[in-house]
Amino acid sequence: MSTTRDYDRGRYAREQDLYPAEPGPADYESDVYPDAGIYRDDWGDEGKPVADHQPRRRWSKIVDEWMEGRIKFGGTGVKRKTAALLLLGAWGFLPLFFMLPSLFTFNTNTIGGSVDDTLGTGAMVNLFMCLLITPAVTLTGQRWFVPLRRWYGIMFACCGIGDALGAAFFDDFAGSPFAKLVEHTFTLIGFLMVLLAIPLFITGNNWAQRKLGRYWKTLQRLTYVIWGLLFFHLATLEGFGFQRGSNGSGFAGDGDAIFHQRLYEYCACSLFLLTIRIPPVKRWITARQEEGRTRLVFIAVMPIFALFVFGFIFIVNELIFKGTHSFVENPSSE
Amino acid sequence: MRDLMNESYAERGYAERGYARRSQKSTKAEKSTRTGGVILAAVSLLSSFLVIWGLYYATGTGERHKVALAAAGCEPNLLSVNVGCTTVWMLEKQWTQLTTSDLQQLNADVADYTVSSRRNLAQAESALTAEMTTAKAFDVSLARFPFPPAVAPAARALMQAIDARVNLTTEQARSSSLAQLRSFNGRVRASSAAIQTDLKLVRKALYTRPTVDQEP
């Protein structure tokens, strides 16, 4: 028989530990209402709240349960959740897919010319998608998409490592592969990010989770360090967001120079991801949801989410534009 | 009876203390959620402002696009999906990418030949074959390069010079002795000088902004 202490010692994987890079609703609810015990198993019949008092929980549970259902597909059936996860997760592979032709043909010109743009931007997209899962759980209360966090995290690491390898062996910079990775401030920061991503990549599986126990969660929090380092990587890469002639990513002839500044895109996306993670904000959201005022939550969050979308579409635009050029092995020189 | 009374007092005491503790905690939680609300409202306001400003900024895209085309020295005949033109800067970058590796390889092949032409016929011939392969690949890359009309004549001259050099090298590689091999050196040097001159001309033409009458 396993006890709570056993869990704390990391001997057994709890259900919430299967995807616990960050606390899910079950973790933080108990902090907000420590005595309410809504999510405790030791309810007596007397104090148990009526299900109708939990509109958000009820709705999110319905969606989670619906996702467990099956879609009939010819003679067999596929879980709705599996189909949805595959559809959503496939996009994470897109940056690597763009680079496949040049890898198969070993086209060093394309790899050297666009690996940083395609895989670097792809890593950024995957990191943001990975970081988006927790706010999405906080806001919707649903958990069916939580496995995507691990998938996007793995894809982020693959893109990041690929970017570093491409930069080390095929970039125009002078010196040995290692020198190429550390000779500029932005490459050094990028290299650090990749170094931090490697342990996350290696431990991104159930076996490592069981072995590391409670330390696994702490280790996975390195994601936040990478997120922070990305700011400095982009800041030093793009001249701290100030365009100087053709130096900086805002040098675009389409008239939207500001939208193409990757540092601004990063800030626009991070504002949403960061705000929803601030504990008092999270508590406010949960409290309003418990009161059944979900509309108020959505109204309050909508502008921040709109800003996230604003920034994110330009990152995706960059990825698709540079990626398609890489795919046809004609690397973009923009 | 006494015990029962004690118990009931004790229970009431616990209940009161529990209530006080609970109400303290709930006040704390309320304060905390209030802070969260204030933070969220502030960030939300800032975001609204930024989104509105972004949309307003986006309305001026067309005008800025025209200005950017003029400022960046665009070649409107060469379409690029995102930008709508290929800038001189972009052409420069493409040109550098194209020439750097091929010219380095050609120079290495020539150096190989120079060393082996003094003592080993077979090695010298293999160096010449490698040189021919690189030169042909460079020629193919040049044929695919999107030269603007103003640069096209210089580029054609460069490709012809490379073809001439390839023909000469083919002939040279058929030599049956080292002396015969070396006899081509003078003509090869002249051919190399012609390629160098054409390369400089193409580079200069690429790096120069087109004049108004050159625009299509």
State the average pLDDT over residues B150-157.
85
pTM > 0.90: no
Distance between CA A2 and CA A11 in Å, rounded?
A: 9
pLDDT at position B99 over 60: yes
Helices (H), chain A: 4-8, 25-32, 55-68, 80-90, 94-104, 108-140, 147-170, 177-182, 185-202, 206-212, 214-220, 222-237, 262-275, 279-290, 294-327
Mean pLDDT (chain B, rounded): 77
State the average pLDDT over residues A19-47.
39
Counting other chains too, the contacts that A103-112 makes at CB distance below 8 Å and 24 or more residues apart are A105/A329, A107/A329, A108/A170, A108/B101, A109/A329, A109/A331, A109/B97, A109/B101, A110/A326, A110/A329, A110/A330, A110/A331, A111/A166, A111/A170, A112/A166, A112/A170, A112/A171, A112/A172
pLDDT tier at A248 (50, 70, 90 boundaries)? low
Selected residue with higher pLDDT from A303 and A330 = A303
Please list every residue in chain B whose beta carbon sits closer than 8 Å to the beta carbon of residue A284: 33-37, 40
pLDDT tier at A101 (50, 70, 90 boundaries)? confident
pLDDT tier at B181 (50, 70, 90 boundaries)? confident
pLDDT digits (tens, 9 = 90+) for A165-197: 888 887 777 777 788 788 888 889 999 999 999
Mean pLDDT (chain A, rounded): 78
3-state secondary structure of A70: strand
Is residue A87 within 8 A of residue A134, CB to CB? The reply is no
Q: Of A109, A120, A260, nearest to A187 (Cα)?
A: A120
In chain B, what percentage of residues exceed pLDDT 70? 70
**Hey, of A281, A312, A314, A319, which one would you mutate to test binding to chain B, going by the most B CBs within 10 A of its CB?**
A281
Tell whether A33 is within 8 A of chain B (Cβ): yes
How high is the pLDDT of residue B26?
A: 63
State the average pLDDT over residues A28-53.
39
Is residue B86 within 8 A of residue B210, CB to CB? The reply is no
| ipTM rounded to 2 decimals | 0.73
How high is the pLDDT of residue A144?
A: 87
Selected residue with higher pLDDT from B92 and B136 = B136
Domain ranges of chain A: 91-327
The shortest CB-CB distance from B97 to any of A35, A109, A259 is to: A109
Selected residue with higher pLDDT from A248 and A32 = A248
Tell whether A304 is within 8 A of chain B (Cβ): yes
How high is the pLDDT of residue B42?
A: 94
pLDDT tier at A121 (50, 70, 90 boundaries)? very high
Please list every residue in chain A whose beta carbon sits closer than 8 Å to the beta carbon of residue B146: none
